[in-house]
């Protein structure tokens, strides 16, 4: 059994675990959310607030998460937490393990106060919170109506001592940057490293230097990264997309220099499959670096993401990328006309290549 961050593909099981609670007075939610609603909730909180799941042999046994207590900025260092377990996983110590991991993470992020609301009566939930160091704050009496009766909610809180508020609570990648970097892929010459905090200056320099070459095939990149402020916003968005498993963006580093980008995106997790796209600076073309970076990405896609199929989209006149695709085992699938609008607003044909694992 492992405790890990929740993923978008976990949402059907998260909904499955939570649904029985909505049929009781443990939760004051009356309509059980489906997988799509769970996905929306997860997307809204990552990576600022953690969701953790307990998994055993691909089956989720339970989950715990934290969310904002109030929306006003002054409440930024307070969160509300909760935990839900499958019926067969209760009273085995799993709840304590999940909550311990969650509280440790919240403290390292710099949150000050963790609050929990319990619809009464619920002695089991009250007991686990007290074991975790929560203390009673008070009771909201007759605050909700469910199952034909007015319901009261007990509020408990735990405060972390010695927590000095930073400019804001830390994002999850900032808590453990080494863990973020452990997703890096290495070959003899290259490092394929997740684009993250600290890459803003190198990314801006790369895009500024290669702008004329990039704007046709990578219009979003060139329009999004124009100065220091926009580069920082772009990096933060890439972190968000990584943690939400929307896309995985890497910088290609050669001899310590940022020489290109590579992104895995457009996922269909039901297959699962996705797209790959890469760019390489003009000075580094013709050295086999594109093929080397793509092979590293294939390993990541197969072994860490569990993809079964990956696609490349290549302009028909880009013979170099077509050679790279062939070297990496991609097979041509066909031509789609007017499939892409470039940075000049012109519709372009695209060749599709794919590889299966």
What are the residue ranges spanned by the domains of the chain?
Answer: 2-159, 176-356
- CATH (residue range 2-159): 3.40.630.30
Q: Over 70: is that where the pLDDT of 179 sits?
A: no
Q: Over 90: is that where the pLDDT of 126 sits?
A: yes
Q: How confident is the model at residue 19 (pLDDT cuts 50, 70, 90)?
A: very high
Percent share of the chain, pLDDT over 70: 97
Same topology, domains 2-159 and 176-356? Answer is: yes
Q: Looking at 31-35, 72-76, 87-91, 315-319, which range is the least confident one?
A: 87-91
Residue range 123-137: mean pLDDT, rounded: 95
pTM above 0.85, yes or no: no
Judged by DSSP in three states, 233 sits in: helix
Residue range 218-233: mean pLDDT, rounded: 95
- Give pLDDT, residue 193: 95
The span from the CA of 314 to the CA of 352, in Å, is 7
- 326-345 pLDDT, tens per residue? 999 999 999 999 998 887 88
What is the average pLDDT score of the chain?
92
- The conformation of residue 196, written as its DSSP 8-state character, comes to -
**Of 60 and 162, the one with more pLDDT:** 60
Instruction: Give the DSSP per-residue string, 47-73.
Output: TTS-EEEEEETTEEEEEEEEEES-SSG
- Give pLDDT, residue 192: 96
Mention the CATH class of domain 176-356: alpha beta
Instruction: Check if the beta carbon of residue 111 is closer than 8 Å to that of residue 163.
Output: yes
Instruction: Check if the beta carbon of residue 235 is closer than 8 Å to that of residue 177.
Output: no
Reported as half-sphere exposure (CB side, CA atoms, 13 A), residue 64 has a value of 26
- 229-260 pLDDT, tens per residue? 999 999 989 987 887 778 999 999 999 999 99
CB atoms within 10 A of CB 318: 14
């Amino acid at each position: 059994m492992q405790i890990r961050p929740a993923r978008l593909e976990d949402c059907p099981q998260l909904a499955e675990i939570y649904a029985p609670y909505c049929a009781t007075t443990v939760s004051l939610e009356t309509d059980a959310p489906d997988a799509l609603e769970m996905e929306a909730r997860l997307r809204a909180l990552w990576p600022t607030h953690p969701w953790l799941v307990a998994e055993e042999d691909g089956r989720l046994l339970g989950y715990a998460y934290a969310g904002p207590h109030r929306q006003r900025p002054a409440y930024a260092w307070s969160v509300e937490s909760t935990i839900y377990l499958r019926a067969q996983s209760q009273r085995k110590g799993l709840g304590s393990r999940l909550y311990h991991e969650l509280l440790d993470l919240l403290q390292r992020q710099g949150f000050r106060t963790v609050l929990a609301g319990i619809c009464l009566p619920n002695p089991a939930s009250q007991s686990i919170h007290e074991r975790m160091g929560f203390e009673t704050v008070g009771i909201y009496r007759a605050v909700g109506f469910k199952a034909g009766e007015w319901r009261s909610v007990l509020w408990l809180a735990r405060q972390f001592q010695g927590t000095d508020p930073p400019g804001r609570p830390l994002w999850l990648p900032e808590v453990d940057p080494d863990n973020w970097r452990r997703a890096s892929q290495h070959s003899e010459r290259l490092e394929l490293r997740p684009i993250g905090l600290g890459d803003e200056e190198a990314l801006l320099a790369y895009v500024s230097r290669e702008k004329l070459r990039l704007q046709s095939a990578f219009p979003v990149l060139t329009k999004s990264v124009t100065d220091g402020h926009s580069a920082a916003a772009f990096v933060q968005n890439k972190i968000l997309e990584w943690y939400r498993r929307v896309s995985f963006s890497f910088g290609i580093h050669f001899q310590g220099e940022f020489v290109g980008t590579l992104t895995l995106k457009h996922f269909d997790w039901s297959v699962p499959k996705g797209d790959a796209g890469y760019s390489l600076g003009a000075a580094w073309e013709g050295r086999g670096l594109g093929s080397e970076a793509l092979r590293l990405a294939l390993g990541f896609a197969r072994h860490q993401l569990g993809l079964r199929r990956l696609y490349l989209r290549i302009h028909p006149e880009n013979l170099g990328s077509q050679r790279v695709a062939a070297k990496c085992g991609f097979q041509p699938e066909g031509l789609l006309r007017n499939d892409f609008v470039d940075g000049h607003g012109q519709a372009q044909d695209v060749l599709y290549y794919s590889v299966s694992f």
